[in-house]
Homo-oligomer: A and B are copies of this chain.
Amino acid sequence: MITFRKAVAADLPAIVAMLADDPLGATREDASLPLAQAYLDAFAAIDADPNQLLAVAVDGAEVVGTLQITFLAGLSRKGAVRGQIEAVRVAGGRRSDGIGRKMFEWAIEECRARGCVLVQLTTDKGRADAHRFYDGLGFTASHIGYKKTL
């Protein structure tokens, strides 16, 4: 029985471990304990922001998935609020259990409940599995995502 809830500070080591357990994340993250202060600071900022929802999927006491939703106010589309989903991960060894799909269905309902008219996300061009996953969830690959490192 998988359930979903807002993340708490005690979930952080499991979340960062999932972010790091990924071909791209492995080069960018540091899951060693105690966690770097930058992760704790980022968690505090996210947790204090009413427009951010860092979520976890849990199976009993075990954290098995995570994603982050940002509720974005904007003028475009007649002042529409958008839900943006980032940092989606499912724990290694649990990746064929349908957890990702359930987690997304939950996240989309959270966006709907907050009045979002649109859910958006970007994914690296190289993540072919992710592309099939989002296509299957009814997302349209309508945009190009640009990034510039500062």
Contacts and interface: CB of A to CB of B under 8 A. Distances in A.
Interface of A: 12, 15-16, 19, 25, 28-30, 36, 38-43, 45-46, 49, 51-52, 54, 68, 70, 72-81, 86-87, 108, 111-112, 116-125, 131, 134, 137-150
A53 to B, nearest CB: 12
Interface of A is mostly: mixed
A122 B120 contact: yes
A121 B139 contact: no
Contacts of A145: 120-122, 141-145
Contacts of A45: 73, 81
B147 A42 contact: no
Given A117-B149, A120-B122, A75 B143 contact: no
A78 B148 contact: no
Nearest to A29: B78
19 contacts: A29-B77, A38-B78, A38-B79, A39-B75, A39-B78, A43-B75, A49-B51, A72-B86, A108-B148, A119-B147, A120-B147, A122-B145, A122-B146, A124-B143, A131-B144, A139-B147, A140-B147, A141-B146, A144-B144
- Of A112, A117, A145, A146, chain B has the most CB atoms within 10 Å of the CB of A146
